[in-house]
Amino acid sequence: MTTVEPRPAARHRTGNQRTAVDADRWPDVAAVPRASWPVQGVTASVLERALRRLPLRVRFTDGATLGPGGPLIEVRDPKAFHARIGTRGLIGFGESYMAGEWDAPDLVGALTVLAAHAADLIPSQLQRLRGLWAQRQPHAQRNTPDGSRTNISRHYDLSNELFAVFLDETLSYSSAVFRGFPANWSVLAAAQHRKIDRLLDLAGVREGTRLLEIGTGWGELSLQAAARGAHVTSLTLSREQRELALERVRRAGYADRVSIELCDYREARGTYDAVVSVEMIEAVGAEFWPVYFRTLDERLAPGGRVALQAITMPHERMLASRDTHTWIQKYIFPGGLIPSTQAIEETVHAHTELAVTARDGFGAHYAETLRLWRERFTERADDVAALGFDETFRRLWTFYLAYSEAGFRSGYLDVQQYLLTKEASAR
C-alpha cells in the first residue's frame, strides 16, 4: 500500500509556533510569505471590520480580543497569520492553521460562522476585483484524462490504511442517511447501507440489472448491487481503491458478478440498464460537465435510470469561485469543483436526452457523517502517525474534515440524490 514516508521535521518558529513543519514536504506552510507592513495592516483592518459583525471572538497572544462573542479563535502568531491571509487569502488561512499559528477550541463552530458569513468577509469593492487578486486554478490540474488520473491519485491513493482509520467497516466515503440526530458511531455502517439502498432503489437495480458504476470507492455499492443479483461494471482511477475493492469482491464471492476496471468515465463502453455515480461529479470540473453527463446518457439504455449523488453549493457562489484556486483544491482535491443544482440541471437539459425526474437534498446528514469521521480521525491520531503521516498532515486533515462539516452545518453546502431517466423511445 502507498504511504507517505516520514522525514525529519524542520522546526518552523514564529512567535508561539508549536507545530514542527517539514520544510521539504510542506514548503508553503514552513515558510511564512513576505508581506509588507501595508499589506499586513490592510489585512488586519479588513478582518477587524468583518469581526465587528460576526458572532466570533478572536484572541491574540498579547491578550487583545476582537469580535462581539461566539466561538473562539486563538491567534498564536498575529504577524504570520496576517501575512498569510494578506498574500494568499483563504489558502493562507488554511496554511496558517496547518502551521499551528491559530487554533480554535471549537473548530467546527468557528468555521461554521465563517462559512455562513462568507459573503461578508471580503468588502464588496474587493469582491468586484476578485479576478485580479484571487489565485487562479493551475492549468496542470485540468481534468483531462491524464490530469484526472493524477488528481485522483493524489487523494485516493494516499493509503487505504489511512482511510480505514476513520471510515466504518463499509469503507463508504460519502454521506450516510441516518434515521435521526444526533447520530453515533454504532449506526454509521447501517446509515451508509441505507444511503446505498436508496440509490439502488432509485436506479431500479434488481436481479439481472446491468449496472454501470462511475466511481468505485472501495466497492461497497458494487457489493450491495451484486447481492441484489445485478451484474456490475465499476470504474475507478485509483489503483489503491481498485486493489482493495477487488479483494472485497472476491471475499464476498461476487467475482462473477462484479468487474472493477481502472478506467476513465470517458473510456466507458457498452449500454446498461442503470448507472449510479456517487459524489464523483465533484472531481469532473465545469469544463467537462457536458462530457460527463453525455457519458451517462450514452451508456444508458432507453428506459434506463441514473441515480446520482452530488455535493452542491449555491449557484452564485459557484460562479464567483469556479475559477479560483482554493485551499481544498491545493491540498485535498486537486481539480475539484462543487456544482450547483442549477448547473447540474442546465447541463443535463442542454447536453443530454435525460430528464431530471427527482431530487432530494439531505445536507444535515452529511454534517453528521463528517462529525463522526472527524471524531474518529482525532481519536486515532496515533494510528495516523504510525502510518507515517506527520503532524502537519494531521492538522491538514482535521481542518479539511471540520471545514467540510461546517459547510454543511451553515447551509453553504448541500448534498443531493438525483434520479435521471431516459425515455424508452430515446435513441
Whether residue 65 is found in the same domain as residue 38: yes
Average pLDDT (399-408) is 98
Domain that holds residue 68: 10-134
Residues 355-373 have pLDDT tens digits of: 999 999 999 999 999 999 9
DSSP 173: -
Region of poorest pLDDT, from 73-87, 122-136, 215-229: 122-136
Whether residue 300 is found in the same domain as residue 228: yes
Say if 427 falls within a structural domain. no
- For 4, the enclosing helix (H) or strand (E) is none
Query: For the chain, how many structural domains are there in total?
Result: 2
Confidence at residue 251, expressed as pLDDT on a 0 to 100 scale? 98
Contact 317, 287 (CB under 8 A): no
Residues β-bridged to residue 136? 324
Distance CA 258, CA 256 (A): 6
Distance CA 221, CA 228 (A): 11
Whether residue 265 is found in the same domain as residue 301: yes
Whether residue 179 is found in the same domain as residue 111: no
Cell numbers standing for residue 27: 514548503
Residues 332-357 have pLDDT tens digits of: 999 999 999 999 999 999 999 999 99
Q: What integer best gives the mean pLDDT of the chain?
A: 91
Say if 4 falls within a structural domain. no
Report residue 128's pLDDT band, with 50, 70 and 90 as the boundaries: low
Domain ends where: 94, 109, 134?
A: 134
Confidence at residue 237, expressed as pLDDT on a 0 to 100 scale? 98
Whether residue 77 is found in the same domain as residue 201: no
Pairwise pLDDT comparison (38 vs 170), residue with the higher score: 170
CATH value at residue 218: 3.40.50.150
Confidence at residue 7, expressed as pLDDT on a 0 to 100 scale? 36
Whether residue 95 is found in the same domain as residue 35: yes
Quote the crossing angle between the two packed helices 239-252 and 145-156, to the nearest 10°: 70
Say if 5 falls within a structural domain. no
Say if 151 falls within a structural domain. yes
Say if 273 falls within a structural domain. yes
Distance CA 419, CA 306 (A): 6
Whether residue 254 is found in the same domain as residue 397: yes
Whether residue 285 is found in the same domain as residue 195: yes
Whether residue 54 is found in the same domain as residue 91: yes
Whether residue 317 is found in the same domain as residue 343: yes
Domain ends where: 79, 109, 134?
A: 134
Confidence at residue 337, expressed as pLDDT on a 0 to 100 scale? 96
Question: What is the percent of the chain with per-residue pLDDT over 90, rounded to a whole number?
Answer: 80
Q: Give the amino acid at 182.
A: P
Residues 8-50 have pLDDT tens digits of: 333 334 344 456 799 999 999 999 998 777 777 888 888 888 8
Say if 2 falls within a structural domain. no
Say if 269 falls within a structural domain. yes
Whether residue 250 is found in the same domain as residue 388: yes
Say if 3 falls within a structural domain. no
Residues 203-251 have pLDDT tens digits of: 999 999 999 999 999 999 999 999 999 999 999 999 999 999 999 999 9
Query: DSSP string of 284-314?
Result: T-GGGHHHHHHHHHHHEEEEEEEEEEEEE--
Q: Which ranges of 303-362 would DSSP assign to H, the alpha helix?
A: 315-321, 327-331, 341-351
Domain ends where: 77, 111, 134?
A: 134
Place of cell 491538514: 396
Whether residue 245 is found in the same domain as residue 348: yes
